[in-house]
Amino acid sequence: MKRILLLSLMAGWVLLACQKKVDDPEPNPPGPTPPTAEQKLKDSVMLYTRDIYLWYNQIPATFNAQSYADPNKIMEAIRPFSKETGFTNPVDRWSFAVKKADWDNASSGISADLGMGIFFRSNNDLRVTYVEKDGAAGKAGVQRSWRLLKINGNSSINTSDASINFIVNAIYGGNAATVEFQKPDGTTQEITLTPVTYQEYPLALDTVYTNGGKKIGYVVLNSFLGDQDQIKAAMASTFSDFGAQGVTELIVDLRYNGGGFVSLWEEMGNYLAPTAANGKVMYRQSFNNRYASQFDETVNFEKKGTVNPAKIVFIISQNTASASEGLINSLTPHTEVKIVGPSASNGKPVGYFPIPVGDWYILPVSFRTVNSNNQGSYFNGFIPESQVPDGLDKAWGDLTEDCLASAMKYLTTGSFRAANRESSRLTADYLESYQRLPMKKMKVLVEDRYNLSEKLKN
């Protein structure tokens, strides 16, 4: 009897177990993990890039944006997919991404550093290249050409890797620095500089020289970024004065001008253009074949001011890029243009516009520009007809400064200043130093005349 009861109970348990298995629904299999915000950001970056990038059809289908740390790394990773006819290596060296707040400051000319540039005149001779008047260095009276003898008590200043790293951290690292300067008269001065936030002022100098019976205007323009109203007002004032003084020839110093806004290139071009260029093509801008009908444009000169230059000499360096190169290229078909400087320019005949993605702007190269003769593939840069050192031991406007002296000699005699052994050595040192201590300036050509990012979304 007990055995029958036990079997009955076991049968009941089995029945209940089977009944439960039948009645209870199976849990749903786990679904795919939703993408994170970071993954969505990277996907959006690539959607835009595969659409607007000038060489979009060279990006392989296997390119995986998720394998890169952030949008800027993605932009750097697409650069190799920019092959151009006539060039062995990829030409894109500029596509980048930046946090919106940082771009807003940089593009409007807001900086927060010591307010000066530095570069090596020779392998152990570090000089001030330029000074922002409202930065810490400008307020302290520092000037171009001053030599840096000590930085934070360290007098080991040379182009070795260890020294370069120390110099970059001390001058550009965002901290206060105590610098012992040597002035042109041989005296020294120790100054402690503390970073401040200031508005950059790109027009460093304008002046008029009377030489060889000619009135020659000289203007130093270090950027096409910044407060556009302020920069345009400065240009208007400069060329009003040039016109009043009867300037007929010009020297335009763009050696530290890494470019900037298309609208400021146009503004300067309209002042520099000869009267006969009015209404003629300044440049043509073209996008990839997906956007050619929507965005391609031809821009004509609209002459401003009364200066009608017969000749223009541009001073350049490897820091001359983008909008400043576009300015030179656009004027070449319309007046006599000559080029002086220590090296070829950067070689950037292409540009972009900021596309907002999350809290970033991405700037994949999106368009190219050519002049009225359809010339514009200067990816190797413009080559100086007179290669002379950057006269870092001289102040702006000093007629003995190497670049200015050669430009002035050409305009007054028809020949450039001859190179000598010392100038050749300094030029070689300068070029070697650039590989180790590049100028801390953006090299950009930014379309800003209308909101292309909104058109892109539409």
- Please report the pLDDT score of residue 25 as a whole number: 59
Q: 10 Å Cβ neighbour count for 60?
A: 7
* Tens digit of each residue's pLDDT (9 = 90 or more) over 283-294: 999 999 999 999
pLDDT averaged over the chain?
91
- Structural domains in the chain, CATH included, are 114-198 (2.30.42.10), 201-352+367-421+434-448 (3.90.226.10)
pLDDT tens digits along 91-129: 999 999 999 999 999 999 999 999 999 999 988 999 999
Q: Give the model's confidence band at 88: pLDDT under 50 very low, under 70 low, under 90 confident, else very high.
A: very high
What one-character-per-residue DSSP string does 227-252 give? Answer: -HHHHHHHHHHHHHHHHHTT--EEEE
Q: Tens digit of pLDDT for each residue in 244-278?
A: 999 999 999 999 999 999 999 999 999 999 999 99
Average pLDDT for 2-27: 43
Residue 442 has pLDDT above 80, yes or no: no
CA distances for 410 relative to 205, 219, 271, 338, 415, angstroms:
21, 17, 22, 9, 5
Distance CA 355, CA 449 (A): 14
The pLDDT tens digits of the residues spanning 399-439 come to: 999 999 999 999 999 999 887 767 667 667 666 666 667 66
Three-point CA angle 295, 297, 302, nearest 5°: 140
pLDDT value of position 450: 78
Alpha-carbon gap, residue 313 to 242, rounded angstroms: 16
Residue that wins the pLDDT comparison between 24 and 394: 394
In the chain, the percentage of residues whose pLDDT exceeds 70 is: 89
Q: What is residue 320's DSSP assignment?
A: -
pLDDT of residue 449: 80
Distance, CA of 436 to CA of 120 (rounded, Å): 10
